[in-house]
Amino acid sequence: MAARRMARMGLKSASLWRAVSACFAAGPMVPAAFAPAADAAEISTLAIELNKLETFDKGCRAYVVVNNTGEAYQAVKLDLVLFQPDGVIARRFAVDLAPLKASKKTVKLFEIEGLACEKIASVLVNEVMECRADGGPVTDCLSRMSFTSVAGPGLNK
């Protein structure tokens, strides 16, 4: 039976037949350069939501919800700019959302002293100052982030 298959395929020796059979048994072999890239689902994302602004005796308290869909982060430092309703910058400051556990939703609180919540019309993520996951520095951190707000003032990059 193997001889008939070899003849149909134009193979003349049993050793060549075994070599060809072994290649097919191993499955498709794709060089690494042509292999598909890592699945998009494997790349962790950080969905950052301005959830609530609350007045307190010294100013405004911001509640930020961070939904981390992947690896843990040791540092996520953002340069934020707060704008007033008239478009004038009210304040610029840095926040660190980390530590963030892997595949976990977290709520972070930040107190903005000396500024009433009504004076915040929008929040700009001006820059990612530092982004470090368990595996080391993350160079494309901003592209992994999405920003939303349910608190009134917009949060965007």
pTM of the model: 0.72
Q: Tell me the mean pLDDT in the region 68-73.
A: 96
pLDDT score recorded for residue 114: 96
**Are the beta carbons of 134 and 76 closer than 8 angstroms?**
no
Determine the topology of domain 44-156 in CATH: Immunoglobulin-like (2.60.40)
Domain ranges of the chain: 2-34, 44-156
pLDDT-based confidence at residue 6 (cuts at 50, 70, 90): very low
Q: Which H/E stretch holds residue 16?
A: helix 14-25
Range in 9-23, 36-50, 105-119, 131-145 with the lowest mean pLDDT: 9-23
